Structure 1
Amino acid sequence: MNDRVLRLLEYDKMKDQMKQHVASSLGRSAVDELQPMTDYADIKAQLEESDEGAAVIRLKGQAPRGGIFDIRPQIKRAEIGGMLNESELIEISATIHAGYQLKTFIRSLIDDDLLQLPRLEAKVEDIHALQGLEQEIKQSIDDHGKVLDSASSDLRRIRQRLKTTESSIRSKLEQLTRSSDHQAKLSDAVVTIRNDRYVIPVKQEYRNAFGGIVHDQSSSGATLFIEPQSVVTLNNQLREAKADERDEIERILRELSTLVMNNTGGLLENVAILASLDFIFAKAYYAVSLKAERPTFVDQQMLEFSRARHPLIPQDEVVPIDVALGDEYQSLVITGPNTGGKTVTLKTVGLLTLMAQSGLFLPVASGSTAGIFQTVCADIGDEQSIEQNLSTFSSHMTNIVEMLDMINHESLVLFDELGAGTDPAEGAALAVAILDEVKSRGARTVATTHYSELKGYAYNREGVMNASVEFDVDTLQPTYRLLTGVPGRSNAFAISQRLGLDKDVINSAETHVSQETREVEQMITSLEEQKKLAEQDVLEAEEIRRDARQIHRELEKEFEAFQAEKEKELEKAREQAEAEVKKAKQDAEDIIEYLRELQREGLEVKEHELIDARKQLENAAPKTAKKQEKVKEKTRKQQAIELGDEVKVISFNQRGQVLAKVSDNEFQVQLGIMKMNVKKDDMEKIKSEPKQSPKPVARVQSNQHVKPELDLRGVRYDEAMHRVEKYLDEAVLAGFQKVDIIHGKGTGALRKGVKELLKKHPNVKNTRDGGMNEGGIGNTVVELK
């Protein structure tokens, strides 16, 4: 970009603002080197870096940038074999530590999944740790730049000798100053230093009382500073020790400088990365100070700035403007009075374009768009040159001629008061011709003017838009608001009237204005009013939209709270259900264990005990399970139960056979050796497998009902055998496939006899002992053919 254009658009002043946010001279140098770019990929990369820096600042409030120094001169001197001093080495150590701190900080944000920072991550990954060099320097030099005793064993020994010798000298001299014989000979009873040697102040007349060497005297000559003969040797030893100390310190510094030389490559890379990081965070802090936003950047010659603010105008004074160019129209002509804000608008457009192409955030509303221009040309302000004997008009035309040599379809052109400084008619005609020429080259143009002839320019040419800066006639002050689509109108008559000019004079002046001009002014007034109404409608719509968004957010929060409460209640219900199920299982196990215990003891379970157990099981059933059974209960209530049906008793989870109907809703059911009255809705009818057609058998009609069991307990052996044979015949005729012969345990004789008979009976297919719930060995289950 042209340096003159950068100066006109105050680009350097903007950079001076940004320098307030750097942390080192490295960052300051990076800001000094900042220039607008013209490559889309480079600009996008810089904007992404600024975006990541701003994200870090938004999340953490700051980034650790302390301790960064420009150590390149020290590195260069070490590289050629020079010795670095203590302060230079401390700066190198601090810079190494700053790099490590910044790398750790960025890595923690990424590792904790707080932010995605691909560009910052790539930079910090290349920072060399160099902690060995840092530790060597820190162990040798303290923060104040003093070489530590721990730097070497020789230095520790030398400094111990220094302290011992110094202590001996002070002790001898203090003895002299405290001696009553010598106090009268001294100007003051103190020990001091002259020429790096310990001395005492002696009166002139007693100069020979102590012997030794005179090193200095007072301005009056009345006091001599003498090194007594008794401490001359010790002072010589002290000087030798100090010389040894200097030699050892120099050796240590040279050793550390050699270490620096050996790490030159890593240090220089760290410096370059830290300069870049300091610059990135300076851009981020600058964006925060401006309340700036990242623009949408496009590879086109266009811009659309919403509520744009000039960064050099205080935020409490600047008036935001909305300006667009390059999409619907490529030229914008701004008219209006002086001091109305036309030039500020022009500079805002130009400076924000340069900032965007420098990879900076812009003081605009979110959603604003910036494009890329290969050249930005500007003719702004009165640049009259006395040295070149050029008038205002000549100065402007010289600039415009130079601009026309470089303008093309990728240019942004800014004209301030185009055609001013000469005859209005010729100036207006020249302005129109220049605008047409620039437009024909495809450049994007923003021009300000006083000429009323240019108000109709936009209406006669496609791709050109009128705009004006608003003026408040009531306060006689500009509002600095930009009205796009409305040309500026003359306020001379209104202003004159407000200032008290006689009405007759104003009426007379109006007669000299053509009808066409008056119509144009009326049209402009109408456009301004319509523009205001439209803007008012937009503001009201935006307010309604904000309210709607707020209501939507509140409803979302309430819904989320409701969902959370609902989930909480469901979880609570699930926990209660689980507890009830657990308790029910335990109760059921206790009841079953009780029944098993009775069976093991060989006791007959009474019906009332079974009823009690059943009630306990029913009470143990959890409510949640009962709710889940509602549909099944309804189905069971509707099912048809008939005598002889095989059913499942739900509460006992046992299979049985229906023996008799007690009532419409209750049946007697055989459960193994037990008979129970069971409710209809506590039974499920079991679908029996299709039976093979039995062989034709002569059936004997019997008026007596045949039961699916024969109880022989208490019957004598012979009678029992007779009953079994008779019962088996009746059971076959009744169509039973399975019956129970209950003979009890007793001595086993009856059981043995029954077993033998069943083995020989022609209608018996198979036999087995009863199961745990079928009476055990006291019952034989018979399968009939």
Structure 2
Amino acid sequence: MNAKILTTLEYSKIIVKLKEHAATSIGKEMVEQIEPSTDIEIVKNLLQLTDEAFAADRLKGSAPFGGIFNISSSLHRARISGTLNATELIEIASTSRGSRRVKRHISTVNEEYSVPSLMNISELISEHRELEEAIWTCINEQGEILDQASAELATARREIRLGESRIREKLENMIRSSSVQKMLQEAIITLRNDRFVIPVKSEYRSSFGGIVHDQSGSGATLFIEPEVIVTLNNKLREMRIQEIREIEKILQKLTAQVADCVEDFLYDQQLIATLDFTFAKARYAHILKAIRPRMNDRGYIKLKKGRHPLIDPRQVVPLELELGNQYHSIIVTGPNTGGKTVALKTVGLLSLMAMSGLFVPAEDGSQLCVFDAIFADIGDEQSIEQSLSTFSSHMTNIIRILQEMTSKSLVLLDELGAGTDPAEGSALAIAILEHIHAKECRVIATTHYSELKAYAFNRKGVINASMEFDIATLSPTYRLLVGVPGRSNAFAIAERLGLSSAIIDVARGEVSDEDMKVESMIASLEENRLSAESDRDTAQKLRLEMEQLRIKHEQDKLKFEEQKENLLVKAQNEANAAITKARKEAELIISDLRKLAMEEGASIKEHKLIEARRRLDQAEPEIKVKKKPARDGKKQKIHAGDEVKVYSLNSKGHVVEIHGEEATVQLGIMKMKVKLEDLELLQSQSTTPAQPQKQVATLKRTKDDSVRMELDLRGESLEEAILEVDRFLDESFLAGMGQVYIIHGKGTGVLRSGIQEYLRRHSHVKAYRNGNYGEGGIGVTVAELK
């Protein structure tokens, strides 16, 4: 891409802002090298990376690029056998550890949100934990070699500390001596040239033995090494030299280990720089509130509320524009200061950003094209040094554009044909536009010439546009209106500013009738547009209001249905309570009648009692409640043995077995297959809480829980047992059972005799017998029903 175009469209300012979001020096260097790509596949890959980083930044925050340095120069020195210092080695270890953190961060993000492109890059980052450990073992974060780096270094440093301690001890004894104190400037111990000395007054030099290493600026103080510690200082010097040699050996050893991994580290630097650059683009996209544009290579641009990224978001006016579908050229007319140049730069700059893999400040649905080149002639490039006029400089630039452009280029021309005679300038502008249009280039041009309005109106593939101007406030709104040619508004502005009506009338007379018709037509178009926009806004508001009313109606309807069902359930519960009470009273009456009949020997027909109970059962009202839709969308889990309600039959029963989407349900003496969606779970067999045990008759059930085949009466009195047997036989008879078992135990035989005597004269019993072997023997009576 031509560097002049990047400057003209202020692309470099975007790079400066993007650079602020890079976390590492290597990332900043990569930002500085960014250029728009003309390969659509490369652009799509760059945008995919930015999109993944955008999501990762939103989910897990910024990637941890801390502790990563530019270690390229250190790696190159290690490669040629140069010895790295402690700081360089620490930077290499820190960078290796930081790279590993970035790799782990991306892997963590990928567990929640797929980021395949970022993973492909991060997985290539090598890991050198052994080298890191070796460096951290020998050097601390301040770049100091640790004693544990080697046994020889530890020994040398121990000797140094011991030597220093001895020297200080001797010197402290000296400066505490009264004879020596009078010769000292201060009673302190200091260092000169790595040797311990004391400050002695210059007049005592002859009487104080030792080696002079320095003197004060005034010459009044001499820093003397006493003879008594010369040997000790010499020994200390030797140990320090030994320490330096050991440190050098350690650094050379670590450098050799780094040299074995130079290629890996250099490649890792490129990968980390790419990731930092990518995350910088994502962070910049967050700042701009930008989106990922759809890209194409067919010259199509569609901007939805595109914003210039360098203009204050509180002041920028969004741009709506479409180019490359029905028309390839847009001619923007209208007065100055209306925002025409900003519109041109916005289209060009957003295209360059997208071609660089950057998100653009616009709304979702925006599309941009990967052009092979973008050309722009914007602004006054008059050059005094080259003796070029404004017109000449524009023409020089345009000639170069016409020579280099292709059918896949975007051309942006500002004030086309300006700077010369209007008649010739407009004719030249039309000729240039016609030439560019014939090449099928995408072009956006701004001009003052009214002749170009007619050209755009009559030429297929070319459309007029203008920058909106508010006559009421005499100020531009900076909105681009595609399809509407611009008006000069000169007469209206002059009249509002107070120019005499007579002068304005004369001026109008000088304008040709044809030009006045064009102005009137444009004014009519603008009036119709404003009216259409007002109607559209009104329709949009009405649509929103209707949508809100519809939602409220649905909510009210749902609330009403819930209240209605709650009332029905409440009424049903109250009715059931009343019926239950009446049933208990009826049972007591029937029981009393039976007792009376037994006591007095009266004969009351059992079938009449059963019929009375049946009529009582039928008297119970059944209220159908509309099935509530499951709000959470979850299906009921129904298992065999569960108590359910069949909606279509309004009956209760028990599930015998499940077959796919159907269940076999026992309804009294009847079994039938029912769709699972027609069932409501009333009580789950697996979740029914255990009831406290009572010393009453226990009714055991078979697999079909609704049919009772056994009655356990052990522990009951004969009177209570007779009542339970009576109820049990009624239920079994109604259920169509052929045989039932009554368990009374062996005991004294009183309960067995009483029950069998009652069975002998019971209307439902055809025959009875003692239980056989395996059935309980004489502890069980088996009754065969009619």
Which TM bucket (shorter chain)? 0.7 to 0.9
Per the alignment, in what secondary structure is the counterpart of residue 315 of structure 1?
coil
Q: Is the 8 A contact 1:770 1:778 kept in 2?
A: no
Partner Cα distance (1:548, 1:77) in 2: 74
Which whole-Å deviations, capped at 9, do the CAs of 1:576-622 have from their partners, x for residues lacking one?
A: 776658659999983459987768x9x9x96862432565999xxxx
Alignment partners' CA distance in 2, 1:552 and 1:76: 71
Is the contact between residue 672 and residue 774 of structure 1 (CA under 8 Å) also seen in structure 2? no
Match of 2:170 among 172, 178, 198: 172
Q: 2: CA distance between counterparts of 1:676 and 1:52?
A: 88
Structure 1 or 2, whichever has the larger Rg, is: 1
Aligned residue runs from structure 1 range 327-476, under 5 A: 327-476=325-474
Taking only the aligned residue pairs, the percentage that are identical comes to 45
Inter-CA distance 778–527: structure 2 relative to 1 (3 Å threshold):
closer
Q: Give a deviation string over 1:111-167, Cα, whole Å, max 9, x none.
A: 3xx101010111111111111111111111111111111211211111111111112
- For residue 677 of structure 1, report the CA deviation from its aligned partner: 5.8
**Counterpart amino acid of residue 470 in structure 1:** E
More deviation, 578-587/380-389: 578-587
Output the CA distance in 2 between the equivalents of 1:464 and 1:234: 96
Hey, what's the Cα distance between the residues in 2 that align with 1:287 and 1:555? 41
In structure 2, the CA distance between the partners of 1:777 and 1:292, relative to structure 1 (3 Å rule), is closer
Residue matched to 1:51: 51
Check whether the contact 1:470–1:478 (CA below 8 A) recurs between aligned residues: yes
SS at match of 2:698: helix
The equivalent residue for 1:637 is: none
| Alpha-carbon separation, structure 1, partners of 2:723 and 2:162 | 108
Distance 1:596 1:441, change over 3 A: closer
2:232 aligns with one of 231, 234, 249? 234
Pairing 1:489-508 to 2, within 5 Å after superposition: 489-508=487-506
Structure 1: gaps (5+ residues): 619-632, 634-646, 657-669, 680-706, 710-739, 745-767
Aligned equivalent of 1:26: 26
Cα offset for 1:542?
A: 5.0
Any conservation in 2 of the 1:673–1:775 contact (CA below 8 Å)? no
Q: CA deviation at 1:500?
A: 2.3
Paired residues of 2:699 and 2:712 also in contact (CA < 8 A): no
**What letter is aligned with 2:229?**
V
Amino acid at match of 1:38: T
Following the alignment from structure 1 to structure 2, what is the Cα–Cα distance between the partners of residues 449 and 523?
19
Alignment-mate amino acid for residue 698 of structure 2: D
Contact 1:617 1:651 in 2 (8 A): no
Contact persistence 1:83–1:253 (CA under 8 A)? yes
When residues 595 and 237 of structure 1 are mapped into structure 2, their CA distance, relative to the original with a 3 A threshold, is same
Corresponding residue for residue 35 of structure 2: 35
Alignment of 1:254-273 (within 5 A): 254-273=252-271
Aligned-partner Cα distance in 2 for 1:106–1:534: 51
Q: Distance in 2 between matches of 1:163 and 1:549?
A: 85
C-alpha displacement at 1:472, in angstroms?
Answer: 2.6
Shift, 1:372, TM fit: 1.9
Relative to structure 1, the CA distance from residue 616 to residue 526 in structure 2 (aligned partners, 3 Å threshold; closer, same or farther) is farther
Partner deviation per Cα, 1:706-754 (whole Å, 9 max, x = no partner): x955xxxxxxxxxxxxxxxxxxxxxxxxxxxxxx7x6x8xxxxxxxxxx
Alpha-carbon distance, 1:268 to partner: 1.7
**TM-score (norm. length: structure 1):** 0.76
Equivalent residue letter for 1:105: H
**Alpha-carbon deviations, 1:359-379, whole Å to 9, x = none?**
110011111111221121111
Contact 1:770 1:777 in 2 (8 A): no
Verify the 8 A CA contact 1:30 1:276 in the aligned structure 2: yes
Is the CA contact 1:648–1:655 (under 8 Å) kept in the aligned structure 2? no
Match of 1:609 among 705, 715, 721: 721
Specify the code of the residue in structure 2 equivalent to 1:255.
Answer: K
Give the secondary structure class of the aligned counterpart of 1:446: strand
1:407 Cα deviation (Å)?
1.9
CA contact (8 A) 2:740 2:782 kept: no
Deviation of 1:450 after TM superposition, in Å, equals: 1.0
Give ranges in structure 2 of 5+ residues lacking alignment: 563-628, 639-679, 702-708, 742-754
| Distance change in 2, residues 1:306/1:392 (3 Å) | same
Q: Give 2:63's aligned amino acid.
A: A
Q: Superposed, which structure 2 residues align to 1:105-120 within 5 Å?
A: 105-111=105-111, 114-120=112-118
What residue is the counterpart of 2:698 in the other structure?
A: 590
d(CA) in 2 for partners of 1:126, 1:146: 32
CA contact 2:698–2:712 (8 Å) conserved in 1? no
Equivalent position amino acid for 1:474 in 2: A
Match in the other structure for 1:761: none
C-alpha contact (below 8 Å) 1:614/1:651 kept by paired residues: no
> Could you say which residue in structure 2 is the equivalent of 1:524?
522
Q: Deviations over 1:673-729 (max 9, x none)?
A: 9358689xxxxxxxxxxxxxxxxxxxxxxxxxxx955xxxxxxxxxxxxxxxxxxxx
Segment of structure 1 superposing worse, 309-318 or 322-331: 309-318
Equivalent residue, structure 1, for 2:759? 674
Deviations 1:284-306 (A, max 9, x none): 01111111000111232111011
Residue 90 of structure 2 aligns with which residue?
90
Pairing partner for 2:315 from 287, 300, 317: 317
CA contact (8 A) 1:769 1:780 kept: no
Aligned residues of 1:192 and 1:200 also touching (Cα < 8 A): yes
Conservation of the 8 A alpha-carbon contact between 1:127 and 1:270? yes
- SS of 1:385 mapped into structure 2: coil
SS at match of 1:44: helix
Tell me the distance in 2 between the aligned counterparts of 1:242 and 1:24.
Answer: 38
Q: Is the partner of 2:454 in helix, strand or coil?
A: helix
Q: 1:41 to 1:778 in 2, by over 3 A?
A: closer
Q: Give me the whole-angstrom Cα distance separating, in 2, the residues matched to 1:552 and 1:79.
A: 74
> Is contact 2:756–2:781 with CA below 8 Å preserved after alignment?
no
Give how far 1:26 is off.
1.2
Query: Superposed, which structure 2 residues align to 1:106-185 within 5 Å?
Result: 106-111=106-111, 114-185=112-183
Residue 227 (structure 1) shift: 1.0
Deviations 1:52-91 (A, max 9, x none): 0000111123221112222111111111111111111111
Partner Cα separation in structure 2 for residue 263 and residue 183 of structure 1: 60
Aligned-partner residue type, residue 228 of structure 1: P
User: SS of the counterpart of 1:674?
Assistant: helix
Q: Aligned to 1:250, which of 248, 272, 277?
A: 248
CA RMSD of aligned residues (A): 3.7
CA shift for structure 1 position 552: 8.6
Instruction: Give distance in 2, aligned partners of 1:232 and 1:443.
Output: 89
Deviation at 1:522, TM superposition (A): 1.9
Secondary structure of 2:16's aligned partner: helix
Q: Is the 8 A contact 1:769 1:776 kept in 2?
A: no
Superposed displacement of residue 177, structure 1: 2.1
Change (3 A) 1:525 1:597: closer
Kept after mapping to 1: 8 A contact 2:376/2:413: yes
- Residues 15 and 277 from structure 1, CA distance in 2 versus in 1: closer, same or farther, beyond 3 angstroms? same
**Structure 2 counterpart of 1:381, one-letter code:** G
Paired AA for residue 28 in structure 1: K
CA contact (8 A) 1:393 1:419 kept: yes
Q: Counterpart amino acid of 1:222?
A: A
Corresponding residue for residue 184 of structure 2: 186
| Partner in structure 1 of residue 5 of structure 2 | 5
CA pair 404-226 structure 1, distance change in 2 beyond 3 A: same
State the Cα distance separating 1:408 from its structure 2 match.
Answer: 2.2
Residue identity in the other structure for 1:611: L
Letter aligned with residue 531 of structure 1: R
Larger deviation, residues 524-533 vs 370-379: 524-533
Structure 2 CA distance for partners of 1:543 and 1:214, relative to 1, 3 Å = farther
Report the counterpart of residue 689 of structure 1 in structure 2: none
